[in-house]
Amino acid sequence: MPQCRQTRVRRPAAARPWLALALALCLVPARADEPDWRDYAALLAAHVHDGERHGITLKLVDYRALAADPHYAAALAALAQAPLAQLVDARQRLAFYINAYNLLAIKVVVDHQPLASIKEAGNILWPVWKREAGVVGGERVTLDDIEHRRLRALGEPRVHFAIVCASLSCPDLRDEPYRAATLDAQLDDQARRFLANPGKGLREDGTRLRVSKIFDWFEEDFGGPDGVKKFIARYRALPAEMELEATLDYDWRLNGR
């Protein structure tokens, strides 16, 4: 990609229309071709708020108010018609499919209200994760499709702190969409916040450090047991004498207000 460089120029700007064009191009956002998340952003800003439920501090979602918001139907329509061919690099695909997962998890809850847990939208033989959740770019998908076929395949373990299965022990639903241009900082922030939350991320318990079962379920994504320790150490200091266990209880109750 061409780079914008400062150049000594002696002619007046009026005689250099090409320079004005070059400067204008440099000011265009690098990810201008990303899908339009304006309606989804409006939903998150209006209906995701700090709260506490059953001793866990988290972002709570007002599903009832969200479902009645005109931005909800518009966001789903935009997702269904999203131009997937424009997702030309890994960061764009990661940001897009994280947003897609989170929006469709919200849709599953709205479609099956009232629920005490998103798992009630499925059963033992046909769990919610394997049921059709909605349409993404013209394709009917399940939450499993997005998580395992799209996101995990990209090899970025931090997605596990960005996708939210509408439960209390899930990572918090971020109150803004993920975007390719800011993705790295957003994912780091999600991991840091999750591990700073003793209610669901990491808790010191005597001589043990108990962490979320996410690190057990997806241990291979972090590079095995040693990889888990190294990953966590990027965001939290780990006392050498304390044993690390992925044994925090996982509360599947709904993250609703």
Could you tell me if residue 13 is inside a domain? Answer: no
Query: pLDDT, tens digit, for every residue of 33-64?
Result: 678 999 999 999 999 999 999 999 999 999 99
Could you tell me if residue 27 is inside a domain? Answer: no
Predicted TM-score (pTM) of the model is 0.86
Task: Give how many domains the chain has, as a whole number.
Answer: 1
pLDDT value for 148: 97
For 100, the domain range is 38-245
pLDDT-flagged residues of the chain (< 50): 1-32
Answer yes or no: are the C-beta atoms of 127 and 119 closer than 8 Å: yes
Residue with tokens 């966590």: 232
Could you tell me if residue 57 is inside a domain? Answer: yes
Could you tell me if residue 254 is inside a domain? Answer: no
Could you tell me if residue 170 is inside a domain? Answer: yes
Could you tell me if residue 79 is inside a domain? Answer: yes
End-to-end CA distance of the chain: 46
pLDDT value for 241: 79
pLDDT value for 34: 77
pLDDT value for 33: 65
3-state secondary structure of 208: strand
Could you tell me if residue 26 is inside a domain? Answer: no
Could you tell me if residue 199 is inside a domain? Answer: yes
- Report in angstroms the alpha-carbon separations of 97 from 6, 35, 88, 160, 200: 37, 11, 13, 12, 24
pLDDT value for 240: 77
Looking at the chain, the number of H-run helices and the number of E-run strands are 9, 7
Answer yes or no: are the C-beta atoms of 161 and 187 closer than 8 Å: yes
